[in-house]
Structure 1
Amino acid sequence: MRYAKCIIIPDDEGLHPVDKRIADHPEVSRELLHNVNLLADETIVTIYQFAGDREALETILEDSPMVCKYQLSGVGDEIHAYIHVEAHERLVGLLSMLKEFEFIFDTPLEFTRRGGLRVTMIGDVQSFQEAIPDVPDGIRLKLLKTGKYEPNTDRLFSQLTERQQEILQTAVDMGYYNVPRAVTHEDIGNELGCTGGTVGGHLRKIESKILAQIIP
């Protein structure tokens, strides 16, 4: 079993009008896409993870005629959202193409800082190469790497946001988790151009998320 890791890069119109409206809002940040499913009637159900202003997100969803229904949950500025949206040619075309070539997403899918979607697709890599010409107009696939798929490989790390991954990787590289500890939050912040308090806050969220996954 093989995988292809790539970035889905939409043009300025985005993957779907609802997703585009959310992406353009300054007080809401798309973090992860935990699930996306094309239904028989070509409507689409998704489970997102957002950060930011819950009221702003609710306003977007309430005002959009393409939202069939939604439910929000979460604590603080972390928001989990079930969103059922109307069919849209571009996203339906992409999901139909992936279904035709029998790809399976390894979730969650991660939004990049530039608005792309980093995904790992499991299946036949040869089929992936054959599928590229069928990608809908306005969407580009950037292949990052391929390899043998091992379940759970990188799964915990992939659940972190891009910024959290950067901070954790820097902390490990600089020796924050060495015994004895080699650097402080402030040292890591100086390396990344942020405050020690910001680093500490991110590391606490990272540790909480990872420990919750591994402790029975």
Structure 2
Amino acid sequence: MHAFVADTPGFRETRLRHWNPSVGDRNTLVFFVDGDDEAAYTEALAEQPSIVEYETAAAEGRRGFHLALTENQRSADARLTASFLDTGVVVVPPVIYRADRTIDVSLVGANDELTTALDGLPDGIDVTVRRVRPYDGRLSDPTAALTPRQLAALEVAVETGYYADPRETTLDAVAEELDCSVGTAAEHLRKAEAAVLRRCVRSVPRGRRA
């Protein structure tokens, strides 16, 4: 199906978001498919002999659709995942299958364990390490970079409808709820918005920003 997305106009990427804890002969996975033709995708999916069952759900307010499926593990997939088993390396979702046939994977682990996992990948797979940095939770949680006060301001603004359309409250009301001045509330929100949006935008491939 990665090849289908790469070869079919109107499809941009697939994101593997969740999977069953113990990877084995039969696995359940949850994807988001960034594509325009759900029927074409599911028709191709139904032809795959490894697929046991699947279900799709609309993605409200955005293009693409959610996909949950159960599949029998193929030997090629088993060889790919085997290098990460029993190494102490954690794969952090999402795993991104891009339209250029590359796969983006974020890994957390000790240096020697990461090296062992990458060296254990099957022959013929080229690996490019794009970034090495201390893990701080930002891979999975865009709010991880916020201070407690910034997070509190963002939560109050969301809960009171400051970001609703049309807006249901005012900055003055948010400031009152936070027990601070309007200027301070605005600063907290501005910094929180900048941090969260930077993380979100950087996680989206440029081809999807058009």
TM exceeding 0.5: yes
- Given the alignment, which residue of 17, 30, 33 partners 1:47? 30
Select 2:3's aligned residue among 12, 17, 20: 20
Question: Greater CA radius of gyration, 1 or 2?
Answer: 2
Contact 1:106 1:122 (8 Å CA) reproduced:
yes
Give the letter aligned to residue 138 of structure 1: G
Q: Name the SS of the counterpart of 2:44 in structure 1.
A: helix
TM-score by length of structure 2 reads 0.60
Question: How far 1:47 moved relative to its partner?
Answer: 1.6
- TM-superposed CA distance for 1:122, in Å, is 0.8
1:149 CA displacement: 0.6
Q: Which amino acid aligns with 2:204?
A: T
For 2:205 and 2:135, the matched residues in 1 are separated by 22
* Distance in 2 separating the partners of 1:63 and 1:97: 28
- Which residue in 2 is equivalent to 1:72? 56
Structure 1 residues 80-99: aligned runs within 5 Å: 80-99=66-85
Amino acid at match of 1:94: L
Q: 1: distance between equivalents of 2:58 and 2:81?
A: 28
Greater Cα offset, 106-115 or 139-148: 106-115
Q: Flag structure 2 segments of 5+ consecutive residues without an equivalent.
A: 143-198
* Structure in which a larger fraction of residues adopt strand: 1
Matched, 1:163 2:209: no
Alignment check: 8 A CA contact 1:106 1:120 kept: yes
Which whole-Å CA distance do the structure 2 matches of 1:115 and 1:38 have between them? 26
Which position in structure 2 is the counterpart of 1:124? 110
Matched, 1:35 2:18: yes
**Counterpart amino acid of 2:91?**
F
Q: CA deviation at 1:93?
A: 1.7
| Pairing of 1:171-210 with structure 2 (within 5 A) | 198=210
Deviation track 1:64-105 (CA, whole Å, cap 9, x = no partner) reads: 222111110123632111122222122212212112212212
SS of corresponding position for 1:139: coil
Query: 1:162, CA displacement in angstroms?
Result: 0.3
- Sequence identity, in percent? 15
CA distance in 1, matches of 2:98, 2:17: 15
Is the Cα–Cα contact under 8 Å of residues 15 and 31 in structure 2 kept in the other structure?
yes
> SS where residue 93 of structure 2 aligns?
coil
Among 110, 117, 135, which residue is 2:96 paired with?
Answer: 110
Residue matched to 1:179: none
Q: Gapped runs of 5+ residues in structure 1?
A: 1-17, 168-197, 199-216
Name the CA distance, whole Å, in 1 between partners of 2:28 and 2:6.
17
What SS does structure 2 have at the residue aligned with 1:30?
strand
Distance 2:107 2:141 in 1: 13
